[in-house]
Amino acid sequence: MRALAFLALMASPAYAQQPPCAPYEDVSKALADKYGEAVMERGLSQAGVMVEWWGNSATGTWTILTITAAGVACIVQAGELFETLPVGADA
């Protein structure tokens, strides 16, 4: 139920002003269940924040999350036309 409330927040006008944040388990479940996305890449920023790139290569949707040490995930960007490039490929 919390995952549905989180997805409703993503569609609200407030999303344009401040990224939606929720417990990581709720965000990850919503991305997997609603968009069929999975973690494609992950890295730790110099500020100590985990960054994850989620994607669905079949539909082309993608989402970038930041995750705090406390387990709070925020969606910072999302879009379409996701594709996996071979290592060393020119953009």
Q: Give per-residue pLDDT as tens, 12-45.
A: 454 455 668 999 999 999 999 999 999 999 999 9
CA distance linking residue 24 with residue 86, whole number of Å: 29
Pick the closest to residue 19 from 51, 56, 59 (CA basis).
Answer: 51
Residue-wise pLDDT tens digits, 70-87: 999 999 999 998 777 777
The phi, psi pair for 80, rounded to 5°, reads -130, 180
Looking at the DSSP bridge assignments, the partners of residue 39 are 54
pLDDT at residue 5 in the model? 46
Report the residue count for the chain.
91
Alpha carbon distance 54, 58 (integer Å): 13
